[in-house]
Chains A and B, each alone.
Chain A
Amino acid sequence: MLEPIVRFFSAQPPAVLPYYVAGAVVFSVLLIFVLINLPSRMRKPLIALVTFLAGLFYAAEFFLPIDKTTQKNVLTDYLVPASKLGSLLGGMTLTLGILSLLRVHGRNIARLRAGWYNSLALLVAMVAMVVFGLMDSYSANATAKKVFNVLFEGMLINMDATMFSLIAFYIVSASYRAFRIRSIEATILMITAFLVMLGQVPVGNALTAWLPTEGWLASLRVENIKQWILSQVNAAALRAIAFGLGVGGLAISLRIWLSLERGAYFEKEI
């Protein structure tokens, strides 16, 4: 019954793709125009209805019985088109994000504010990445591919790695403060962390290598103490947190699905 919808959202041949893009743009503009001009008293129930239907689709897809052979139910085939709608919305909002960057940094450059050259570097880098990225994907120009390679592999990946490596130094300074023995809790934390760290390195394991590998004395080997801390004490605490998070996520999902969450964003209860 809904087969045409699935076909509509499937990959289209290049010949008709521009018509689909143009149609999507016109539809989006019309939809936004209608939404903006709707009176507030109508806009809120409309948002509540769309939210409810969207949530109901995913809940029904999860809960409806499935055909054991295909592992699908009547709604499973429409999951991909639904997720594509989400991607479309994401693509539209990305434009707003880029406009924000252009507004903030364009103003810095225009008014020659302190550090304006950093803003210029950011905008030049952004434009260069977009241009050479598109050329890399859609053009056969070898120079463009080389430039994109230098920008992406030579610069961006390395700068990412540099930021990531900073974490090692930050861990040292943060753990120094956290492990200072100021209270009973901090002392327990320090001893536990010390045992886990010892259990992770060969030199730690070597300290208790003389203990037997079988029998009750084996429990005192550093690697076994580490394993006990991680699998018994730590895992139990993490599962307790995970239960709380799961139930909390369910509660807030219900509030949003049934539009009870309005109090947080619109000040008024419905």
Chain B
Amino acid sequence: MQHAFEKIEPVLIVEVLTAIIIIWRIISAQRGKELFIRRIPGLNAIDEAIGRATEMGRPVLMVPGIGGFSIIALQALSIFSYIARSTARFGNRILMPVADATVYTVAEEVIRDAYQSEGHPERFDPDSIRFLSDRQFAFASGVAGLIQREQIASSFMFGEFFAESLIFAETGNMVGAIQVAGTVQTTQIPFFIAACDYTIIGDEYYAASAYISRNPTMLGSLVGQDFGKLLIVSLCVIGSVAATLVALNVPTLSSASKWLIDLFTIR
């Protein structure tokens, strides 16, 4: 078990600083500060994909990955909540296969809430959210079968994906579905880029709910994240300069640089 004061004091410093910045930005956004977010094409494509499914009269597929109940799954459910609100408005059929029993129970509530908030609770079909299997490839074959049988029009894959990502994306491609995917697994991003129409990369995944909901708390948090990244980039630049000064043995600066390097070294 790792502890902050055992080996990784720098983590404590950076984490606490970033947390303070994020909370500060959330509070200022809640007080009405106008915030700007750049355009994210993958997220703009969500409405286009739902519209296509409506025109074709075919279902919309949402896959929250095979990970357990975590921050990543919660973020996926937040995006799916937005998609479900749109499908509730347009009367699309949705399919949401789930691999984790805890995610399944929360997903059912989130999607039901989305239909109720749109004023169409009668359109919610409890069978549209299905627990298939918690085994990776049993789940993969189940989802691939659903895609083929139901001839889905749009597929949204957000969450934790592993080797099964390409099975979903290629099967969706075979039935001609418009596909939007996003994951935090850097090893799976290339597969999604190769097989999907739009891919959300890196921290865009965590920006998604703020982007689509324009909720002040989330917008503030997103801007706070950017400040956090700025802090990390600044530390990278300062660290590189300090390491260079130590290597060059500049008399007046090398001791200060050494102290700085020591402070941020993970032992």
Contact = CB atoms under 8 A, between A and B. Distances in A.
Interface in B156-213: 163-164, 166-167, 169-170, 173, 184, 186, 189, 191, 193-195, 201-203, 205-207, 209, 213
A265 interface: yes
A151 interface: no
A104 B142 CA distance: 13
B127 A73 contact: no
- By size class, the interface of chain A is 35 or more
Interface in A75-120: 76, 79, 89-90, 93-98, 100-101, 103-104, 107, 115
A11 interface: no
Nearest to B102: A93
B194 A251 contact: no
A263 B232 contact: no
Nearest to B163: A167
A15 interface: no
Contact of A244 (B135, B149, B189, B202): B202
Interface stretch (A28-36, A61-69, A199-207, A208-216): A61-69
Contact of A245 (B101, B167, B202): B202
A251 B224 contact: yes
B252 interface: no
What secondary structure prevails in chain A residues at the interface with B? helix
Nearest to A163: B137
B169 to A, nearest CB: 7
Contact of B203 (A61, A104, A248, A269): A248
A241 B201 contact: yes
B247 interface: no
B194 A247 contact: no
Contacts of A258: 23
A113 to B, nearest CB: 11
B217 A269 contact: yes
Q: Which of B19, B71, B98 has the most CB of A within 10 A?
A: B71
5 contacts: A96-B101, A247-B228, A248-B207, A255-B218, A264-B209
